[in-house]
Structure 1
Amino acid sequence: MGVCTSSTAQCRPRQSPIDIQTKRAKYDSSLKPLFIQYNPNTSKRIINVGHSFNVEFDDSSDRSVLSEGPLTSHYRLRQFHFHWGASDRDGSEHVIDGQTYAAELHIVHWNSQRYLSFEEATKHSDGLAVIGVLLKIGEPNPVLQSIIDNLDKVKTKNKESPFEKFNLSDLLPKERTYWTYLGSLTTSPYLECVTWVLLQEAITISSEQLQHFRGLKRSSENEDEEFILENHRPLQPIENRLVKSSCKHKNHKP
């Protein structure tokens, strides 16, 4: 898929994130349950990328994959990261019926059935599949804490540390119903290559845990100190896109 150089909506009709309006989302009986198979032995490292931190996985084989749901291929797990705000009131990228959340988890996969690499996959409209999970303020999340305990090792941009044997499945909510739509990356260059799968049940994070995210720096070691206080993209026009739901009745759990 070619990359459009214009910023007009006509040229870029499937930008993300969007406001999911649950009453307008269409139930689609053909949507299958998600098949998620994450092997803890594929987690490799945690790295500060300057605008967030990534937990990266070995994607040289199909040991950790996502398939079914709205997808017609299988997708290899590449990495996950978070988006957050300067306060607990907002930070999520997607919004549900106008309601923002404290943060949002993005789990990034690429279409290894059709393409030879992640980089090649980003050039195609069906190249990536991203699971989005909303985070709400609540009880401390023990699975998140195992990640937060490693953030001091990657305080500044480009710092990395081994992060192995992490079971990403434990971070997901028990309920796996979802909304899905065609969209884009939410970081530059905003490539329109993403099938979004936004889970309808949120997970918790405590205010104290979230504060650790804001303690990361977008600056390198030898630069003036600058913290990543927020890193979420503004909402984009939905245009004429259809949001589909895997659940017949509204099952959103704010």
Structure 2
Amino acid sequence: MSESWGYGVDNGPVHWADKFPVAKDGRRQSPIEIKNAETKHDPALTELILSYDPSTAKSLVNNGHSVQVDFDDSEERSVLSGGPIQGKYRLRQFHLHWGARDGHGSEHVVDGQAYSAELHLVHWNADKYESFELAAQAPDGLAVIGVFLQVAKHNPALKRLISSLDCVQEKCLRIEFNDFNPHTLLPPSLQFWTYLGSLTTPPLYESVIWIVLKDPIHISKEQIARFRTLQFTGPDHLMKDNFRPPQPLNNREVLRNFQ
């Protein structure tokens, strides 16, 4: 990824349009504020089907912008189907965004409420495109599930991920991270909102079918504090507030699969 962007005063989201014009000119940028009363129930939206093979988990990396778990997507082994998407989308990676303090840090906002963090599970349309890179530039190329994290209580499903953060404190550090099922990070209910949007980081391609889960998962104060010990570029530049603010809706329709 380009070094020309980040989350600092000089290279943060307000400056992204300088190098990525779609940030200013795009009509389907993400994230957004979801106003539930203005969303539309769509009875045609089917349930999400997540079929994840834990053996496809490969590695954990600090990419300088977030911490990310990469998956083997060379075959159709960890896939998402149903909901608003056609066919099967392969899981490529998941990563998180979080704030410097509890109560803010999520990218999507619901009825004025932000959460302390947001998990993104990134899938790509391998039925239609030959590679993730090609899919990432196509209008129906990606499907991302967004999961809110609410500071409340200890979440045992996050224990292994968080205990591994010490090994990837610095940018570009990568370790093996095998046999992990991301389904354990999802809430029991998969009710969702969905809309057409974009990547929330440069190059901000408008290629994402967003699926934002209504129910958050829990995380403890101690657990989320561990994410804030990661480094963007050094010990004097800790990784926090790595989120993009909501973008204009531009008359887009936001659908929901619940009454």
Paired position in structure 2 for 1:74: 88
User: Partners of 2:235 and 2:189 in 1: how far apart?
Assistant: 43
TM-score, normalized by length of structure 1?
A: 0.92
**The residue matched to 1:239 in structure 2 has which SS?**
coil
- 1:73 CA displacement: 2.2
The answer for the alignment partner of 1:231 in structure 2 is 242
Give the whole-Å Cα distance in 1 for the aligned partners of 2:189 and 2:225. 27
1:50 paired to 2:67: no
1:134 and 2:145 equivalent?
no
Match of 1:20 among 34, 53, 59: 34
Q: Which has the higher helix share?
A: 2
Aligned pairs for 1:95-174 within 5 A: 95-174=109-188
Question: Normalising to structure 2: TM-score of the pair?
Answer: 0.91
Structure 2 residue identity aligned to 1:70? P
* Counterpart AA for 1:75: Y
**Identity of matched residues, %:** 49
Question: Residues of 2 paired with 1:93 and 1:216: CA distance?
Answer: 19
Q: Distance in 1 between matches of 2:252 and 2:162?
A: 36
* Structure 1 position 146, deviation (Å): 1.1
Q: How far apart, CA to CA, are the structure 1 residues paired with 2:164 and 2:123?
A: 23
CA contact (8 A) 2:20 2:202 kept: no
Opposite residue 201 of structure 1, the aligned amino acid is D
Distance 1:36 1:234 in 2: 28
Tell me the residue number matched to 1:242.
253
> Separation in 1 of the partners of 2:193 and 2:224?
25
Q: CA deviation at 1:174?
A: 0.5
Moved over 4 A (4+): none
Equivalent position SS for 1:153: helix
CA gap of 1:60–1:177, structure 2 versus 1, over 3 A, is same
The one of 92, 97, 109 aligned to 2:106: 92
CA RMSD, 1 decimal: 1.3
Residue of structure 2 in register with 1:36 after alignment: 50
Q: Offset at 1:224?
A: 6.2
- Which runs of 5 or more residues in structure 1 are unaligned? 249-254
1:141 & 1:17 partners in 2: Cα distance? 25
Partners of 2:65 and 2:239 within 8 A in 1: yes
Letter in 2 for 1:83: H
Does the residue aligned with 2:27 lie in a helix, a strand or coil?
Answer: coil
